[in-house]
Structure 1
Amino acid sequence: MLYSSIGIVALIVLLIENMDFFVGRKGTPELPSWGIYRRFLLSVLTYYIADILWGLIEERKLMVPLYADTSLYFAAIAAGVLFWTQYVVTYCNEEESLFGRTIIWAGRIIAFLTWGLLLVNLFVPVVFWVDSEGTYHTAQFRYWLLGAQILLLIVLTFFGFLKLAWVRGDWNTARPYRILGLFGLFMTIFLYGQLLFVYLPLYSLAYLFGTCLLRISIIEKEKEQYSLELAEANKVTRLKQSISSLLDNMPALAFYKDAETGAYMACNQLFAEYAKREKPEDVVGLTDADIFPPEVAEHFVEDDKKALGMNVPHIFFEDVTDAAGNPRQFETVKQKFYDTEGRLCLLGMCLDVTEMERTKDAMKMYARLNALHGNMLSVYMVDVETEQYTLFTSGESKAELVVEKHGSNFFEAAREKSYSIIHPEDQEYFAEMVTRENVLSTIDQDGIFMIDYRWQVNGRASYVRMQAAIVDEGQNKILMVGIMDIDSQIRREQQFNNELLAARRMANVDALTGVKNKHSYVEWEEKINAHIQATDQEPFAVVVCDINDMKSVNDLYGHMEGDACIKRAAKRICHVFAHSPVFRIGGDEFAVILTGRDYRDRLQLMEQLQSEQDTSDKARFGDVIAAGIADYRPKEHKNVLQVFELADRAMYERKRALKGQ
């Protein structure tokens, strides 16, 4: 009974510590190694049960139950070795290495060899046997199998300690590999003892100590880290949902795209349905050429170029066909803007007016004045041949804000009036667009002429739209010119644009320091990797910074002082690398991507960073920054991660040097 009591205690401890694996898997993080670790725990559980039963059965000398339970005992040991080798290789990310594959196959061979010999043992006692009096006896293959398992555990132990030496990090970074090595050492020593002393429950003791170490030092640490990453991911997801909600509440098809690549970055559900996609996420990353027929895609690209060349919103009517080839008519607004990363983007909103204006002929027949309704300020009738014009109707007190009530040479008069009423930044654009030749040719091609610009009255700028169309009255052709107040519409669009930029900025900015966060760093990393793959990446370098003794600051002075220390470090890094993006990628860890001017001056800037803290902050506890830098070399580096890892090693070497001063 004493033999079984050790196994009973070990079994109870295992169930208490790992109840979330055996019962409540819903809250257990599913990392790549967790499934294997769960199977390892099940093999340990099976071993405990077999070991407990072995002590009870052997004490009563029951021959058949003792034989069956001993077979289960050896099978569980083999399963434990199999899953432990797989867990170590997966946890250390060695699945693709030659060593990792060799270790996994060694574990499989030992396990399947053990199970095969247990089958042979049914007929020939090669592993163990039980005599008629219920006494257990060992056979030759028992020692060989346990010896092979000991040898494999020794290899895994050395592997854990070698990984510990390779990491060369701080205590928290190196701790998991230290525990893996200690676990293997425990199992090796106790399994060797079990080999020599059959009637001592040494292997149960080894599993008891080893699984407790794993739970405290590795499993809990990874669960805590996973919870933090999950919370950050949920925060980013909520921000993206806020942006999507903002777009979905727009009363028209809404989208924005990367001006350089033409790829859609976000859109609302209305636009996704128009593009024949189930949801907005299915549109992100696609271009017009991926969604629409070639002629429609080219038309959209040309409109984008016009909008990108203007300093005001580009508003126009267009006849297009959707992805199914159906004719549609849109009133479209496109506006360029720069996002928080300095990327040129294009915001677009399209109102489907197909039901209001079914054909292009209806657009050309601009004879009905109610087509110029609501916010109309002035309407002029212009004889196409003579350019004689007359004020037909007007808004209350703004009848003569374009030209006089009557006169000749309408286009010349409009240009002259523009110098006193039109915003200085739009005068050249207005003079270029509002010419007889351009207006008539545009109407002939599109059925309507439209231009948006700004008035400046009493020191206040307001947006207006000029629309013009030709009415054929038989012998004469009349050009109907209307001036509409669209200021409130443009202001709403600008407000939407600002809200969108603010939402995107929240998703990419660290709340504590105001620099870019890890989510933003991942986006930059992906963009640079794409240029590396395309072999057109400009020279750059990566700087990794870390604050020395940050944990001591928090322990001695509290987290408020720790936060202040982090903010001071961020400010100093931003000051030194003033022309490069700075990212907070961890609690007290920062990364900087140097290009252009900062890349050329990188050595001087690194010296500046070090000299500033040596002269002013070295004496201040916790305000010493360790920094490392690595240059991108096209022939050596395939991605940003490889450059980052070199910079990270350089930072740790600097960190140790600073602590040694």
Structure 2
Amino acid sequence: MVGARAVRAASESDSPRRLYDRIGEFLVNQRLDPDPGNYAFAYHLLANPEGPLARAVHALTDGGVRLTQRDIETLGCDLRPAQNGKGAKEKADGLVAQTQMQVEGFQDMVTAIRAETEDFGRDLAASAEAISRSTDAGGAIAIDEVARITAAMIERVHSTEAQLARATCEASELREKLEEARDNARRDPLTDLPNRRALEEAYAAQAASGTQICVAVCDVDHFKSVNDRFGHAVGDRVLKAIAEALGQTCAGHLVARYGGEEFAVLFTGVDLRTARDILDTARVTVATKRYRLRESDAPLGEITFSAGIAPAAAGEGLSTVFHRADRLLYAAKTAGRNCLHIG
């Protein structure tokens, strides 16, 4: 809960020096790069510890989860400086503020509908009283007065129906935006695979159900040399190609981009050897493909990955299983790469 603690602590003192220190602590704790965009994000977060952005960060980081760069982008606070050097207009509230405004607008609409309903009740009572007075006075009903009150009630009914329709539309749009934000927060933008947060949630759900679980950690061999020789654009295409191969071969199991050139596979309902066979098929698929540069059709060279696979014991957390699989991955790298180790 490092993010939540930092936001709460920010309200303890508003001195510029203390705020500056807390911004640095926040970036270090969240393992965020100290670039201008992240500094701006941290400033808006900590300078307004009771705002919608702070509440969203508290919800995301509660339980010890760290923010990712994708989380910041989803919150609408990727505040990069403009090319002209004067700085871009900062959108600290982002999607959180939009959602908050929609919720508040929906609440206002419900309040207005409630008031209309109360007015309707008063008019109905007035109509009944008018009928009663006219009858008591001489038996003749004041038709004009009853018609006026009835017309006013009908108009209010139509107005209320229109407001309810708008409220329903607002609620539907809000639900779609929240679903989109929830999905974006759990998806890697480059490969479109689930990200680390999605892996953690899926593991927790499968572990709670008692399903047999194996965790694989995969790492692209010599990936740095690919970036160094051909550039990051080519490196990104390599990552997307490997993501596609893993996703197709391991269909039915969760494939996630864990970070950088590292992928993870959550195998469920299969034993260790079956998981190994499935992943080895993906390894062979990647290793036998002949990659070429899109621009010149020149060969890119061999692309491979190494992996470690570990089964999860009952009650074991993801971090423990992942650490074992990661050590097996390191052993595979040491053994010459382009191979799998199981444990």
| Cα separation, partners in 2 of 1:652 and 1:239, compared to 1, 3 Å | same
Query: Aligned runs of 1:457-606 on 2, under 5 Å?
Result: 490-524=168-202, 527-528=204-205, 532=207, 536-596=209-269, 601-606=274-279
Q: Please say if 1:623 is aligned against 2:324.
A: no
**CA-to-partner distance for each residue in 1:65-123, whole Å, 9 max, x for gaps?**
xxxxxxxxxxxxxxxxxxxxxxxxxxxxxxxxxxxxxxxxxxxxxxxxxxxxxxxxxxx
Q: TM-score, length-normalised on structure 2?
A: 0.55
Q: How far apart, CA to CA, are the structure 2 residues paired with 1:493 and 1:599? A: 46
Q: Which amino acid aligns with 1:512?
A: L
Alignment of 1:233-382 (within 5 A): 233=68, 236-237=71-72, 239-240=74-75, 241-250=93-102, 252=104, 353-358=113-118, 368-374=153-159
Tell me, yes or no, if the aligned pair for 2:219 and 2:262 is still in contact at 8 Å: yes
Change over 3 Å in CA distance of 1:491–1:355 after alignment to 2: closer
How far is 1:536 from its partner?
A: 4.2
Unaligned runs of at least 5 residues, structure 2? 1-19, 39-66, 76-92, 128-149, 292-298
* Partners of 2:306 and 2:329 within 8 A in 1: yes
Change over 3 Å in CA distance of 1:246–1:226 after alignment to 2: closer
Q: Which has the higher contact order (CA 8 A, sep 6+)?
A: 2
Instruction: Please say if residues 628 and 649 of structure 1, whose CA atoms lie closer than 8 Å, have aligned partners that are also in contact.
Output: yes
Specify which structure has the higher proportion of strand: 1
**2:86 paired residue number:** none
Counterpart selection for 1:642 from 295, 315, 320: 320
Q: Is the 1:252–1:352 contact (alpha carbons within 8 Å) kept by the matching residues of 2?
A: no
Give the CA deviation at 1:26: 4.3
Q: Secondary structure at the match of 1:508?
A: coil
1:227 matched to 2:33? The reply is yes
Equivalent residue, structure 2, for 1:607:
280
**4+ runs of 1 displaced by more than 6 Å?**
359-367, 484-488, 597-600
The two structures have a TM-score, normalised by structure 1, of 0.31
User: Using a 3 Å threshold, how does the CA distance of structure 1 residues 630 and 235 change in structure 2: closer, same or farther?
Assistant: closer
Q: Name the aligned partner's letter for residue 248 of structure 1.
A: Q
Structure 1 Cα separation of the partners of residues 252 and 271 of structure 2: 6
* Contact 1:548–1:623 (Cα < 8 Å) also in 2: yes
Aligned AA (1:545): C
Q: Encode CA deviations 1:449-505: one digit per residue, 9 max, x unaligned.
A: xxxxxxxxxxxxxxxxxxxxxxxxxxxxxxxxxxx8977665554333333333333
Alpha-carbon distance between aligned partners in 2 of 1:621 and 1:600, rounded to the nearest angstrom: 30
Residue ranges of structure 1 left out of the alignment (5+ in a row): 1-24, 32-221, 255-269, 272-330, 332-349, 377-483
Output the CA distance in 2 between the equivalents of 1:607 and 1:371. 68
Deviation at 1:544, TM superposition (A): 0.8
CA contact (8 A) 2:276 2:309 kept: no
Flag the 1:506–1:351 CA change in 2: closer, same or farther, 3 A.
Answer: farther
Cα deviation digits, residues 176-198 of structure 1 (max 9, x gap): xxxxxxxxxxxxxxxxxxxxxxx
3-state secondary structure, aligned to 1:356: helix
Aligned residues between the structures: 241
Tell me by how many angstroms 1:545 deviates. 0.8
Distance 1:28 1:369 in 2: 58
Q: Kindly indicate whether the alpha-carbon contact (under 8 Å) linking 1:542 and 1:593 is maintained by their aligned counterparts in 2.
A: yes
Alignment RMSD: 4.4
**Shift of residue 612, structure 1, vs aligned partner:** 1.8
- Describe the shift of the 1:501–1:556 C-alpha distance in structure 2 as closer, same or farther (beyond 3 A): same
Inter-partner Cα distance in structure 1 for 2:240 and 2:158? 56
- C-alpha offsets along residues 357-383 of structure 1, whole Å, 9 cap, x if unaligned? 34997799897323431497xxxxxxx
